[in-house]
């Protein structure tokens, strides 16, 4: 039975509107998917869009840590799927952003606890309440990743500028074009966006990393944003705050650009070239 839609759980303004489901995915682990999911969802909420972000990584559960709500998790995604809790009980409302809700993954269940029917039912219920649902996919191309992307309308494909990461992202693009609801029904295709993370132009110049153009040529999908290699990401994660909230940081500004472009705003790409050093920097810098 669906929860009563009162207070914070109020009806959407648009009659019969359904949420746009966005999966944040990549074949390789450790590329910044959860960091991207947290900042992307927060950025949408900061712009007034009612947004939910779901952690699909059953058994690990990192999203709630980055969102700073780990102590508030009582019920999780699996509890809702198995009928042990209602969606209203499991969703955690963010303390800083009134339009943002988090659905945590279970740390104690097996990955098989997520079922196709169960995920579909939860997303269908959530689609009546939210404008955007962000699905934080687990690493790899196994069941959890398939379930995270299956219902997606759009995908943020997160990759680092290294060959193995780009190669794995290319495999994910194959799944997005063939193993989703849209692909199976013939209802168009998932709209793909490239988010290039941990980019360091100085290392690119030394040949230690692939360039933006290299990655774009290999993956052949539109570039949504480049997030520079930044200490601010680790600092924000440790503080339980999505880095997009830190507008003084380069990574925070980069994620703000990502959200703005996703919503249709035209912004020039930043952080693509190394800063030129002054005389003292050239004399005494590395």
Q: What's the pLDDT score for residue 278?
A: 52
Q: Find out whether 35 is annotated in a ligand binding site.
A: yes
pLDDT > 80? residue 2: no
What percentage of the chain exceeds 70 in pLDDT? 90
Helices and strands in the chain, H and E counts: 13, 8
End-to-end alpha carbon distance in the chain:
63
Structure tokens at 161: 């500028």
pLDDT > 70? residue 277: no
Q: What's the pLDDT score for residue 276?
A: 62
Q: Find out whether 108 is annotated in a ligand binding site.
A: no
Q: Find out whether 30 is annotated in a ligand binding site.
A: yes
Average pLDDT over residues 147-153: 96
Q: What's the pLDDT score for residue 74?
A: 95
Average pLDDT over residues 59-81: 93
Q: Find out whether 159 is annotated in a ligand binding site.
A: no
Q: What's the pLDDT score for residue 107?
A: 82
Around Cβ 227, how many Cβ atoms within 10 Å? 27
Q: What's the pLDDT score for residue 12?
A: 46
Structure tokens at 97: 């952003």
C-beta separation of 114 from 77 below 8 A: yes
Query: pLDDT tens across 253-264, in order?
Result: 999 999 999 999
pLDDT > 90? residue 275: no
CATH architecture label of 23-264: 3-Layer(aba) Sandwich (3.40)
Domain ranges of the chain: 23-264
Q: Find out whether 143 is annotated in a ligand binding site.
A: no
Q: What's the pLDDT score for residue 125?
A: 97
Across the chain, mean pLDDT equals: 90
Query: pLDDT tens across 153-172, in order?
Result: 999 999 999 999 999 999 99
Confidence band of 14 (pLDDT split at 50, 70, 90)? very low
Q: What's the pLDDT score for residue 139?
A: 86
The model's pTM is 0.90
Q: What's the pLDDT score for residue 18?
A: 84
Q: What's the pLDDT score for residue 9?
A: 43
pLDDT > 50? residue 3: no
Q: What's the pLDDT score for residue 108?
A: 76
Comparing 13-22, 62-71, 95-104, 252-261, the range with the smallest average pLDDT is 13-22
C-beta separation of 227 from 32 below 8 A: yes
DSSP secondary structure letters along 87-138: HHHH-EE-SS-TTEEEEPPPSSS-GGG--HHHHHHHHHHHHTT-SEEEEEPP
Q: What's the pLDDT score for residue 72?
A: 96
Query: pLDDT tens across 75-126, in order?
Result: 999 999 999 999 999 999 999 999 999 999 988 777 778 899 999 999 999 9
Q: Find out whether 25 is annotated in a ligand binding site.
A: no
Q: What's the pLDDT score for residue 279?
A: 52
pLDDT > 70? residue 190: yes
Q: What's the pLDDT score for residue 142?
A: 81
Q: Find out whether 191 is annotated in a ligand binding site.
A: no
Query: pLDDT tens across 208-230, in order?
Result: 999 999 999 999 999 999 999 99
Q: Find out whether 179 is annotated in a ligand binding site.
A: no
Q: What's the pLDDT score for residue 16?
A: 47
């Amino acid at each position: 039975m669906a929860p009563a839609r009162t207070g914070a759980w109020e009806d959407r303004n648009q009659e019969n509107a359904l949420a746009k489901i966005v999966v944040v995915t990549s074949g390789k682990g450790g590329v910044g998917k959860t960091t991207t999911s947290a900042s992307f969802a927060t950025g949408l909420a900061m712009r007034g869009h009612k947004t939910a972000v779901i952690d699909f990584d059953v058994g690990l559960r990192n999203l709630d840590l980055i969102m700073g709500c780990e102590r508030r998790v009582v019920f999780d995604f699996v509890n809702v799927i198995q009928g042990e809790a209602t969606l209203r009980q499991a969703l955690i409302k963010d303390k800083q952003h009134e339009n943002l809700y988090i659905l945590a993954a279970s740390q104690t269940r097996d990955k098989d606890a997520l079922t196709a029917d169960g995920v579909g039912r939860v997303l269908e219920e959530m689609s009546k309440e939210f404008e955007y649902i962000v699905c934080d996919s687990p690493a790899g191309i196994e069941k959890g990743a398939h379930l995270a992307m299956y219902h997606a309308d759009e995908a943020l494909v997160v990759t680092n500028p290294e060959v193995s990461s780009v190669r794995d992202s290319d495999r994910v693009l194959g799944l997005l074009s063939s193993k989703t609801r849209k692909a199976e029904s013939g209802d168009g295709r998932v709209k793909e966006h490239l988010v290039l993370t941990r980019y360091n132009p100085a290392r690119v110049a030394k040949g230690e990393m692939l360039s933006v153009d290299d990655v774009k040529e290999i993956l052949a999908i539109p570039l949504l944003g480049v997030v520079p290699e930044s200490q601010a990401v680790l600092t924000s994660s440790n503080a339980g705050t999505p880095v997009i909230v830190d507008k003084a940081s380069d990574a925070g500004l980069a994620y703000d650009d990502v959200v703005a472009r996703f919503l249709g705003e035209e912004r020039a790409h930043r952080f693509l070239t190394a800063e030129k050093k002054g005389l003292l920097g050239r004399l005494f810098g590395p």
